[in-house]
Amino acid sequence: MALIQGIPGEFEPQPWGEAILRSHRLLLLRIARRPADDEVRLPGLVTMPLHVVEDRTGKALTWRRDGADLVVRLPDSGDPPVVRVALQGKLRIVPPDTVTANADGVWDVTPLGTTAHLVARRTAAVAIRFVGMVAPDSRHQIRLAGRRCGVTGQQLTRTTIGPFPMPADRVVPLAVPTGVRRVLVAPVGTVLASIHPGRDEITVVVTNFGRTPVRGEVELPLPPDWSASEQFWTFDGLEPGRSVGWVTRVAGPDGDHELRVRLEAGRRSASSPYVIHL
Q: What is the CATH number of the domain that holds 216?
A: 2.60.40.10
**Longest Cα–Cα distance in the chain:** 72
Structural domain boundaries, residue 219: 191-277
Backbone angles phi, psi at 198, to 5 degrees: -120, -165
pTM summary value? 0.87
Which pLDDT belongs to residue 172? Answer: 95
- Residue 248 placed within a domain: yes
Same domain, 173 and 197: no
Q: pLDDT per residue over 201-221, tens digit each?
A: 999 999 999 999 999 999 999
Query: Do 163 and 202 share a domain, yes or no?
Result: no
* The pLDDT of residue 2: 54
**Of 1 and 263, which is predicted with more confidence?**
263
Together in a domain, 136 and 59: no
Please indicate, yes or no, if residue 164 is contained in any of the structural domains: yes
Could you write out the DSSP letters of every residue in 79-146? SPPEEEEEESSS--B--TTEEE--TTS-EEE--SSSEEEEEBSS-EEEEEEEEE---TT-EEEEEETT
- Domain end, chosen from 152, 179, 206, is at 179
CA-to-CA distance for 38 and 61, rounded, in angstroms? 12
What does the pLDDT read at residue 219?
A: 97
Is residue 74 within 8 Å of 43, Cβ to Cβ?
no
Same structural domain, 205 and 232: yes
In a domain, 236, yes or no: yes
pLDDT of residue 213: 97
32-54 residue pLDDT tens: 999 989 999 999 999 999 999 99
**96 found inside a domain:** no
Same domain, 273 and 196: yes
Per-position b or e across 242-273, b if 16+ CB within 10 A of its CB: bbbebeeebebeeeebebebebebeebbbbbe
At residue 60 the predicted structure's pLDDT band, cuts being 50, 70 and 90, is: very high
Mean pLDDT, residues 233-262: 93
Q: Is there a domain that residue 243 lies in?
A: yes
8 Å CB contact between 161 and 231: no
Is residue 154 included in any domain, yes or no?
yes
pLDDT tens readout for residues 110-129: 998 999 999 998 999 999 99
Q: 197 and 270 in one domain? A: yes
Residue 23's domain is classified under what CATH number?
A: 2.60.40.1180
Average of per-residue pLDDT across 25-32: 94
pLDDT attached to residue 63: 97
Sign of CA dihedral 187, 191, 195, 198: positive
User: How high is the pLDDT of residue 85?
Assistant: 97
Question: Are 200 and 241 part of one and the same domain?
Answer: yes
Both 56 and 120 in one domain: the answer is no
78 and 126 in a common domain: no
Residues 248 and 214 reside in one and the same domain: yes
Starting at the edge strand found earlier in the chain, the sheet holding 191-197 runs 243-248, 202-208, 191-197, 269-271
pLDDT of residue 1: 42
E strand intervals along 188-242: 191-197, 202-208, 214-219, 227-228, 232-238
Both 222 and 202 in one domain: the answer is yes
| Reported confidence tier of residue 3, pLDDT bands at 50, 70, 90 | low
Count of the separate structural domains present in the chain: 3
Amino acid of residue 39: E
Residue that terminates a domain, selected from 145, 179, 213? 179
Residue 201 inside a domain? The answer is yes
Does the pLDDT of residue 227 top 80, yes or no?
Answer: yes
pLDDT at 189: 96
Question: Which of 5-14, 90-99, 240-249 has the largest mean confidence?
Answer: 240-249
Of 87, 107, 141, which residue sits at a domain end? 87
Same domain, 168 and 195: no
**Residue 262 phi, psi dihedral angles, 5° rounding:** -100, 120
Task: Let me know if residue 136 belongs to a domain.
Answer: yes
Q: The dihedral of CA 227, 228, 229, 234: what is its sign? A: negative
